[in-house]
Amino acid sequence: MDRLPLALRSIPSHFDPDRLAEVDTRLVNIVRDHHVSIGLAIESGSRAWGFPSPDSDYDCRFLFVRRTADYLSPWQKRDVIETPLEDEMDVNGWELGKAIKLLLKGNAVVIEWLMSPIVYAGDPGFRDGLTRLAERHTDRAAIGRHYLHLGERQRNTYFADHKTVSLKKIFYALRPAAALRWLRFHPDAVIAPMDFPTLLRQCDPPADVLDLSTDLIARKAVTREFGTGPLPAPIRDFIDREFETARTHFDARPRRISEDARADAELLFRSMLHD
C-alpha cells in the first residue's frame, strides 16, 4: 500500500474530515500513479496564513521526488504534478529540483511552504534539510523583492483608485507589506512566519493597523460574504510606506548562486533520491 510520511502531520481540529480525507486520497493516488515520494505536503492558502473564510479553498501544496531512474532518462518528466481544481480542492506540487532552484533564487513561496503550520504529510529530514539550505543560502534581498513585487501587483490590481474594495482583497497586499517590515526588523533572518497574525505581531505595526487587521480577520472568519468597503486609511498608509521603503532597502541587483550553495543543494538533492 502506498503511504505518506506522517511524522510532521499537524491538522487543526476544526478541519472538515471529509475534505481532509479527500486531500489524503489525492496524495496517496499521486504517490501510486506517478511513482514519486512526497517529502512535504502542506496547506498554503488563507487557512495556513491565518485569515480563512468559512468557504476558503483547501490549497494543498506538496514537494515530491521522482525515482532515481526517472532522473537518468533523456526524456525528463514534468517538474509539476497537478490535480483538477474542483469542489474547493486545489492540490498541486513541485518536484524537488525545481523547488531547490527557486529557493536559491529567493522565491518566497517555497520558504512559506516550509513554514506552513498546517501539514498533511511530511518527513522531518526532508523539511529540515530544505530549511537549513534556505537559512544558509537564500538571498534576503531577493526575498524582499519577491514580496515587494507581489504586494505592489495586488495593490495596483485591487485598490489602486482608493475607491470601495472587496475587503478580503486587502490581505493580498497587507501580508506582503507585513513580511517586508518583518524582514527589516529581523536583519539576520530569511524565513518569516507564514501565519499572518504572528507575522503582524512580530513586525510591530502601528496600533491602529494591528487593531483594524485583527477586526478584519475576525469578521472574515465567520462570514462567506465579507463584503466591500473603503480601504481603511491606516492600512493604506502602512502598505504604501512599507512598499516605498522596500524599493530602496532591498538591493535590486541580481546575485549569482554561489558554488557553496550549488554544492550544498546537490548533496541535499542526492540524499533524497529513491529507487
pLDDT tens-digit profile of 96-135?
Answer: 999 999 999 988 999 999 999 999 999 999 999 999 999 9
Contact 155, 244 (CB under 8 A): no
Contact 176, 151 (CB under 8 A): yes
DSSP 3-state percent helix, strand, coil across the chain (nearest 5): 55, 15, 30
- Please give the C-alpha separations between residue 213 and each of 108, 172, 199, 202, 270, in angstroms, as whole numbers: 23, 12, 12, 14, 44
Return all residues near 130 (Cβ < 8 A) that are at least 6 apart.
Answer: 40, 63, 99, 100, 103, 110, 114, 268
When pLDDT is cut at 50, 70 and 90, the band that residue 1 belongs to is: very low
Whole-prediction pTM value?
0.93
Strand segments (E) across the chain? 36-43, 58-66, 80-82, 89-95, 119-122, 165-166, 228-229
Instruction: Provide the 8-state DSSP code for 1.
Output: -
pLDDT tens for residues 146-166? 999 999 999 988 887 667 888
76 grid coordinates: 525528463
For residue 222, the model assigns a pLDDT of 84
For residue 3, the model assigns a pLDDT of 85
Computed over every residue of the chain, the mean pLDDT equals: 92
Quickly count: other Cβ atoms within 10 Å of residue 55's Cβ: 9
**What is the arithmetic mean of pLDDT over 28-39?**
97
Return all residues near 14 (Cβ < 8 A) that are at least 6 apart.
Answer: none
58 residue type, one letter: Y
**CA atoms of 138 and 50, how far apart (whole Å):** 25
**CA atoms of 11 and 42, how far apart (whole Å):** 10
**What is the arithmetic mean of pLDDT over 235-242?**
96
Inform me whether the pLDDT recorded for 84 exceeds 50.
Answer: yes
